[in-house]
Amino acid sequence: MKSRLQTLLTSEKITSSRFADIIGVNRSSISHILSGRNNPSLDILQKVLTKFPHINPDWLLLGQGNMLRNKTEEKQTLKQPFSTLFENKTVRTNSNIEPKTEPKKIFKEELPKQPEKIEEKPVEELSKPAIIDVDKAVTEKKLEKIVFFYSDKSFEVFHP
């Protein structure tokens, strides 16, 4: 695989970094493949075949046949339907594309209403201890402290 990718780079007259940019992968990934450290992933092979459609997939993957596809073979593969994991699909032409629609305009009356402002309670009411009586097995909870944080990054601790 390493030698076939090097042959491809040589025939296309591009550097490994330019090749990585063309197929959209990290340059280090191509460097590791060309050094023999890693084998290319399926994702990288798909990107190579997508960006270089004239390359014979049998040659790239298996080392069989010619490096370049025949003209007739290339036309046949472009006309054949392709399948995904879940269903068969055929290649669509521009005539199947639906016309672009305008985005819906929202008028001021249609905007969602803002929530009502929450009524602020005085500090005296906040300092009252919260008492919860659950099956009389839970003891009273007592408020220990309240910490006030201010916008100037200072704070105060209130002990009731």
Ordered per-residue pLDDT tens for the chain, 160 residues: 888 889 989 999 999 999 999 999 999 999 999 998 999 999 999 999 999 999 999 998 888 888 888 765 545 555 555 555 555 555 555 555 555 666 666 555 555 666 666 666 666 655 555 555 555 555 677 888 888 889 998 888 888 7
pTM (predicted TM-score)? 0.44
At how many degrees (to 10) do helices 2-12 and 16-23 cross? 90
Tokens of 35: 């050094």
Under 8 Å between Cβ of 52 and 68: no
* 107 bridge partner residues: none
Q: What architecture is domain 2-82?
A: Orthogonal Bundle (1.10)
